[in-house]
Structure 1
Amino acid sequence: MSIDASEMDGPSGTSGQSGGVSGDLAAQLGELARELQQEDDLDTVLAGIVQAAVELIPGAADASISLVTGRTIEAKIASGVLPRRVDALQSSTGQGPCLDAAYEHRIVRVPDLSTETRWPAFCSGAVELGARSMLSLQLFVEGDRMGALNLFGARPDAFDLESEQIGLLVAAHAAVAFADSQKISQLKEALMSRQLIGQAEGILMERYKLSAQQAFLVLTRASSSSNRKLREVAEDLTISGEIAGVKRPVR
């Protein structure tokens, strides 16, 4: 069985005479990694990756980082309007290179969308939108959610073996940065929730002379009876001074 070079599980070629990464590119990737490590806002991290992809990957006129859940694609960050429209088209048709990259292959290269036969419903619409060639690379798989880096060429055959190799390097940096940013975001969210709950407990303890355990019990009961998250109940109390549906806490 023959293997389509555009759907291999790794770069199907090398860059430069020695097959390695040039010194300039290595320096640029190193600088990208340092810049991303200093950011803890996910959207800022992803925007930096998209910008770097357009600047560093040969043939890339536009780029996006897309999140895939089921057969639905969301362009989380995009360099322009075209990537968002193409992602919406892949979602509506249920087919396309981004979905294949997320589910089946690390790399999917589409030399010419006007002659591509793998996704007929998608390709005809993509050409009408202005896309001529694409390169999609898997970023991560996290349960039923996946991520992909999508590159768009303004002409047929915009991407070559060098594009694949550099694309994989950028995607590797992107995957690490995405994971680190997610962890930081989750830690911040947990800390913020704990702070809000602590403030709400303090209000109840002072107002009704409750112990910390009793105050927490009041919050959990309010959360259960209102079918709302504990953090939301605590936030309402710190803002309004009241807990909806609770007139007097039970001691």
Structure 2
Amino acid sequence: MSSPFVATSDPLWPDTLLSLLLSTDTVEGFLHELTLLTVAALPEGGMCGVTVSYDSHAMTIASSDELTTAVDRIQYRTGEGPCLDTMSTAVAHHIPDLSAEPRWRAFCTEAFASGVRSCLSLPLLGPVGTVGCYNLYNTHVSAFDDDARSRMGVFTGNAAGAVALALRMADQSKLNEDLHATLASRSVIDQAIGIVMAQQRCPALEAFALLSRASQNRNIKLHDLAAEIVTTVGGQTPGSSAFEPPG
């Protein structure tokens, strides 16, 4: 489905971000459109996700595509990666070539196997601290050269202000509800991935790919397919206390 928002100026400009903020009804919708705007400003092969910290857990609240979400999940599952370090230190981290990066080897190995070749994690710094983190991935080696990093640094500064404003404008209870629902959905998908891994004896990324293809072939949402699998195997409907995320 195409985006309802059409930028009328350079997507890096603050007035474009303000127009985007005013044209979307929810924080989740704004952040998703923001990732699409970001991808438009990236080199070819680019992907984007936005990570926030919720109840001491890092989570992807919006992404430009499912692969980004899957690669983000590698960091959360392994407990290492440039995004997590950027979130904790507010320092940007750049990996020109995942195959040659000595840091975060567990993450780099799995992300490389998924097709990611380079990445850039940038802190979203708001008035009172780190609002979140940009996770920028690319299917090409050395995709984020000096010019690209400089350009994205400017964009991140503008985007951080827009994200901070969106969070302040949102009703806090509604925001918590949206975040809780998103975390619950991710929990169900993770449960289904674990089931497929056990049944097919395959790694997590392959299990996620199998679920994604099945979702597309059956023309149903990934979450709905995951809920169906979990219900069939576990005998409980997701949404019961057993499947509620921590909070």
TM-score w.r.t. the length of structure 2 is: 0.59
Q: For residue 195 of structure 1, what is the aligned residue in structure 2?
A: none
Secondary structure of the corresponding residue to residue 151 of structure 1: strand
Tell me by how many angstroms 1:182 deviates. Answer: 1.4
Q: Paired residue for 1:167?
A: 152
- Residue 33 of structure 1 corresponds to 17
| Shift, 1:59, TM fit | 4.9
Give the CA RMSD over aligned residues.
Answer: 3.0
Contact 1:75 1:83 in 2 (8 A): no
The residue aligned with 2:228 is none
CA distance in 1, matches of 2:157, 2:139: 24
Corresponding residue of 1:55: 40
Residues 61 and 188 of structure 1: CA distance in aligned 2, closer, same or farther (over 3 Å): same
Seq. identity, %? 27
Equivalent of residue 65 in structure 1, options 35, 50, 56: 50
What's 2:116 paired with? 131
Give the corresponding residue for 1:249.
Answer: none
CA contact (8 A) 2:87 2:132 kept: yes
> 2:28 is matched with which residue: 39, 43, 50?
43
Q: Which residue of 2 aligns with 1:204?
A: none
- Comparing 41-50 with 27-36, which one deviates more in the overlay? 27-36
Larger radius of gyration: 1
The match for 2:137 is 152
1:172-191 correspondence runs (5 A): 172-186=157-171
Q: Does 1:97 align with 2:82?
A: yes
The letter for the 2-side match of 1:149 is Y
Q: Is the 8 A contact 1:72 1:94 kept in 2?
A: no
Cα distance, 1:144 vs. partner? 10
Please give the alpha-carbon distance, in whole angstroms, between the structure 2 residues aligned to 1:115 and 1:79.
26
The offset of 1:115, in angstroms, is 1.0
Q: Which runs of 5+ in 2 are unaligned?
A: 1-7, 176-247
SS of equivalent residue, structure 2 residue 99: coil
Which one scores higher on RCO, CA 8 angstroms, separation ≥ 6?
Answer: 1
In 2, the alpha carbon distance for the partners of 1:31 and 1:118 equals 38
C-alpha deviation, 1:117, in angstroms:
0.7
Aligned mates of 1:116, 1:155 — CA distance in 2 = 15
| CA deviation after TM superposition for structure 1 residue 43, in Å | 1.3
The number of equivalent residue pairs is: 167
